[in-house]
Chain A
Amino acid sequence: MIDAIGQVSRWLGRTWAALREATGDDAYERYLAHRRECPAQEPHAPLTRAAFFAAEQRRKWDGVRRCC
């Protein structure tokens, strides 16, 4: 029983993580993780959550993003 609950909760956790990744909900966390892995790429201090989100949205909508 406990095993089954554990499995279901693990599955729910994975689904939730996939949903967050697919929607970009965890984009800031992934950005911070990337900064920790490759600190040399951007020498300045990491952006705040709000500044990161604002910059991302500007970047995303500078090209063709949606089709007919």
Chain B
Amino acid sequence: MYKPVKTVIWLGVVALGALAVGGIALNRGESINAMWFIVAAVCIYALGYRFYSAFLSAKVLALDASRATPAERFNDGRDFVPTNRWIVFGHHFAAIAGPGPLIGPTLAAQFGYLPGTLWILIGAVLGGCVQDFVALFCSIRRNGRSLGQMARDELGPIGGAVALIGVMAIMIILIAVLGLVVVNAMRGSPWATSTVAATIPIAILVGLYMRGIRPGRVLEGTAIGVALLLLAVFGGGWIDANETLRSWFDYDGPTLAIMIMIYGFAAAVLPVWLLLAPRDYLSTFMKIGTIIALAIAIVILNPNVKMPAITQFVDGTGPIFGGKVFPFVFITIACGAISGFHSLIASGTTPKLLANERDARFIGYGGMAMESFVAIMAMVAACVLDPGVYFAINSPAGVVGAQAADAVAAISSWGFPVTVEQMNELAREMGEATLFARTGGAPSLAVGMASIFSNAFGETLLAVWYHFAIMFEALFILTTLDAGTRVARFMLQDMLGSFFPAMGRTSWYPSVIICSGLVVAGWGYFLYVGTIDPLGGINSLWPLFGIANQMLAAIALCVATTVLVKSRKVRFAWATAVPLVWLVVVTSTAAWEKLFSPDLRIGFLSHANDLASKLQAGTLLGDAAAQAPRLIFNDRLDAALTAFFLITVWVLVIETARVCHAALSGRRCPPLTETPHIPSRLVEDWVRD
């Protein structure tokens, strides 16, 4: 295309993007159409991709198409395979996009739509996409090494050890909080519980089919599985209507937590082909299919966003989680803006598939932009609900009161009118007994998705859409739970193996059982306490998860900054150093507040002390008194973990500064471990853009 035409097109994108962002930022009072969010997001990602990622590729990283990638050099037809870039993009996106970008924005909507939306857009373009891209690049230039290995090589043994422990800790907290989201979606809902339960035998059936009947026929197995899953959604409605059957699937939170623990243990110990792998095929198909359907539905329907741009809860008094907009919006929305976990994927499977180094831009930067778009859609789905309804679903009973009348009175008094009749009618439409205090984000996202889907694709079947959305969320939350437990088990076996060699043998059954048991006990503990916490558990666990995830991102950016400095690119090191500094500021402030804030809903220690003094004074009665010692212990444990994360980040930052300073002043430091340039032989066969 002629250059002037291109310039005009890009100027048009800039103007449209500015108009859309200005529109959503300056809108006050009136409801605003969701299309503005989509237009703003698409324009910002397009500009970020076209200009900023081009700058990163050309100047900062100097991607070199003539350099053979690990996939080309070690091509074994299995692990290392040069693959078409669209297919690698699909694999990478399916791997990074989990429940995080759906849940975080839903919770952060308590501040109004604006803080979360701006953070998702700016954080992704300048932070998250950069992190994923640079981590992928570093790994490609190091034979596909993992983040932990790169931290050890580039920063030395301290950096390596910190990265390893950080990954382990984030796994435990992540699984606990995701488990809690599923438990809250299934609590007292026979339809949701039976549908989610049905995914287990369906996955096993698909596993048996792909293993024994038609080995390796992934598409056939998945098609059968998806059909059965859809049947299970309808079947759940039928079970819910039958008095006897529904009592088999009606459980409270703590019981469901124990069931999830038993399930997680089984999934980690059983062979992968039986449960984990087939569940993953199903969840990947459902995930990609549903996300595309949601995007189409939002475009067709153009719903109006009813949430105000900014609510009064930016002052820290929000019912869903305590804390001011700074730093808590940046902690609550991790996935979707910047997620440290992605650096594990970008330094795991993906670098072993790239046929050309230049594809790293499309896959690393572009993949994260796509995930960020999912987060924008989740924000839209949360904000199209009536704010009163949104707060009624997401506020824990410990904040607004356990009785429906108390809850609606409290929420209406904040200026978000809602009535008991309205909530009962909504619950009836969705096929649920109640929608009050269904914390965790999944039920409110499901209500939002159900209303969007039913309006776009036919008014009927609201309850079916609702339970479809719950099934879709539970399906890939449980995949993350299975896979996470298994990976954490391997890590634990690896760590214990250095003290007791027998424990390090990954197929030795006593070691498998003990390590899986320890991992499940770790996350199971946090999950169980979350279910008995009167504030709903999400209130304390989600910020902890956000801090852990941002800590991991800080680790990845520390490695990336060190690599840039050692490669004599100091003048471009700001590209990773600026997001790193921002993350360190945000994580440290949030961790400090979670530790020492005198506000009972923010500070773990002040909450523990308050409970302890109430317990001593005898003002707690019944269940509250019985559970208080456990909640006090849990608060102190959460505080210890937060302190640990805070110290970890700072140890790594100081270590990074030390290594960078040594590299710049010519003193001894771990050398750059980049593999030498080997010319690619694939490059002439490929027609590139």
Q: Which residues of A contact B (CB under 8 A)?
A: 18-25, 27-28, 30-31, 33-35, 38, 41, 49-50, 52-54, 56-68
User: Is there a chain A Cβ closer than 8 Å to B487's Cβ?
Assistant: yes
B480 touching A67, Cβ below 8 Å: yes
Verify A34–B348 contact, CB threshold 8 A.
no
In the complex the two chains form, is A68's CB within 8 Å of B178's CB? yes
When the two chains form their complex, are residues B211 and A63 in contact, meaning their CB atoms are under 8 A apart? no
Q: Please, how many angstroms separate the alpha-carbon atoms of A31 and B76 in the complex? A: 9
Give the residues in chain A near B78, CB-CB below 8 Å: 31, 56, 59
Known A-B contacts A23-B222, A25-B218; A68 and B273 likewise in contact (beta carbons under 8 Å): no
Chain B's closest residue to A37 (CB) is B77
Contacts of B348 in A (CB 8 A): 63-65
Instruction: Name which residue of chain A comes closest to B274, CB basis.
Output: A57
Chain B residues with Cβ below 8 Å from A22 are 87, 90-91
* A67 close to B216 (CB less than 8 A): no
7 contacts between A and B (CB under 8 A): A18-B86, A30-B77, A53-B215, A56-B78, A62-B506, A63-B349, A65-B349
- Please determine whether A66 and B484 come into contact, CB atoms closer than 8 angstroms: yes
* B76 and A41 form a contact (CB under 8 A): yes
* Chain A min CB distance to B95 (Å): 6
Q: Is the CB of A67 within 8 A of B97?
A: yes
Distance A58 CA – B506 CA, assembled complex (angstroms): 12
Identify A65's interface contact among B95, B210, B339, B476, CB under 8 A.
B95
B272 within 8 A of partner (CB): yes
Mask, B275-309, CB within 8 Å of A = 1, is 01100110000000000000000000000000000
Contact in complex: A68, B218 (CB < 8 Å): no
Q: How far is the CB of B642 from chain A (nearest CB, A)?
A: 19
Question: A18 CB to closest chain B CB, in angstroms?
Answer: 7
Lowest 5 A-B CB distances belong to which pairs?
Answer: A34-B77, A68-B100, A53-B216, A50-B215, A61-B272
- Are A21 and B77 within 8 A (Cβ)? no
- Report yes or no: A23 in contact with B219, Cβ–Cβ below 8 A: yes
> Using Cβ atoms and an 8 Å threshold, which residues of chain B touch A49?
215-216
Q: Are A68 and B174 in contact (CB under 8 A)?
A: yes
Query: Taking the complex as formed, is B511 at the interface, i.e. its CB lies under 8 A from any CB of chain A?
Result: no
Q: In which size bucket is the chain B interface? A: 35 or more
Let me know if A23 and B79 touch, CB within 8 A.
Answer: no
Tell me if B549 counts as interface (CB < 8 A to partner A).
yes
Does the CB pair A21–B87 fall under 8 Å? Answer: yes
The listed residue with most B CB atoms (<10 A of its CB), out of A53, A57, A65, is: A65
Report chain A residues within 8 Å CB of B490: 62
Q: Measured between C-beta atoms, what is the minimum distance from B131 to chain A in Å?
A: 13
Q: Give the contacts of B479-509 with A (CB-CB under 8 A).
A: 479-480, 483-484, 486-487, 490, 506
Check B483–A53 contact: CB distance below 8 A: no
Query: Contact: A67 with B98, CB < 8 Å?
Result: yes
In contact, B479 and A66 (Cβ under 8 angstroms) = yes
Chain A nearest Cβ from B363, distance in angstroms:
14
Q: Which residues of A contact B216 (CB under 8 A)?
A: 25, 27-28, 49-50, 52-53
Residue of A nearest to B174 (CB): A68
B344 at the interface (CB under 8 A from A): yes
Contact with A along B62-89 (1 / 0, CB 8 A): 0000000000000111110101101100
**Is B256 an interface position by the 8 A CB rule?**
no
| Contact A19 B219, beta carbon cutoff 8 Å | yes
Contact in complex: A57, B272 (CB < 8 Å): yes
Cβ A66 vs Cβ B272 within 8 A: no
Known: A58-B272, A61-B276. A67 touches B215 (CB 8 A): no
Give CA–CA (A27, B217) in the complex, Å.
Answer: 10
Of the candidates A19, A53, A68, the one whose C-beta lies within 8 Å of that of B210 is: A53
Cα-based distance from A62 to B506 in the complex (angstroms): 10
Find out whether the CB atom of B91 lies under 8 angstroms from the CB atom of A68. Answer: no
In the complex, whether B560 has a CB less than 8 A from a CB of chain A is no
Determine whether B96 belongs to the interface, using a CB cutoff of 8 Å to chain A: yes
Chain A contacts of B483 at CB under 8 A? 61, 64-66
B466 at the interface (CB under 8 A from A): no
Q: Does B342 contact A (CB under 8 A)?
A: yes
Q: Cβ of A67 and Cβ of B219 under 8 Å apart? A: no
State in angstroms the CA–CA spacing of A8 and B342 once bound together: 38
B215 and A66 within 8 A (CB): no
Is B515 at the interface (CB under 8 A from chain A)? no
Which residue of chain B has its CB nearest to the CB of A32?
B77
* B335 CB-CB contact with A under 8 Å: yes
A64 lies within 8 A of B487 (CB): yes
Q: List the A residue with the shortest CB-CB distance to B488.
A: A64
Asked if B17 is at the interface of the complex by the 8 Å CB criterion, the answer is: no
Determine the residue in chain A with the shortest Cβ distance to B90: A22
- A38 partner residues in chain B, CB cutoff 8 A: 75, 77
The reply on B345 being an interface residue by CB < 8 A is yes
Query: For the complex, what is the distance from the CA of A66 to the CA of B77, rounded to whole Å?
Result: 22
The one of A56, A61, A62, A66 that contacts B480, using a Cβ cutoff of 8 Å: A66
Interface string of B208-243 (1 = CB under 8 A from A): 001100011111001000000000000000000000
Bound-complex Cα distance A60 to B222 (A):
18
Report the separation of the CA atoms of residues A12 and B506 in the bound assembly, to the nearest whole angstrom. Answer: 44
**Nearest chain A residue, comparing its CB with the CB of B285:** A23
* Closest A residue, CB atoms, query B104: A68
Pair A66/B210 contact, Cβ less than 8 Å: no
The answer, among B95, B334, B506, B549, for a CB contact under 8 Å with A66, is: B95
| Interface positions of B from 635 to 660, Cβ below 8 Å from A | none
Evaluate contact between A68 and B219: CB separation under 8 angstroms.
Answer: no
Residue B391 is within 8 A (CB to CB) of chain A in the complex: no
- In the bound complex, residues from chain B placing their C-beta under 8 Å from that of A35 are 77
Q: Are B211 and A50 in contact (CB under 8 A)?
A: yes
- Determine the chain A residues whose CB is within 8 A of the CB of B95 once the complex forms: 65-67
Closest residue of chain B to A49 (Cβ to Cβ) is B215
- Give, as a whole number of angstroms, the nearest-CB distance from A37 to chain B: 8
The complex places the Cα of A24 from the Cα of B78 at a distance, in Å, of 11
In the bound assembly, the distance between CA atoms of A63 and B350 in angstroms comes to: 12
Residues of A within 8 A of B86 (CB): 18
Report the minimal beta-carbon distance from B548 to chain A, rounded to whole angstroms.
10
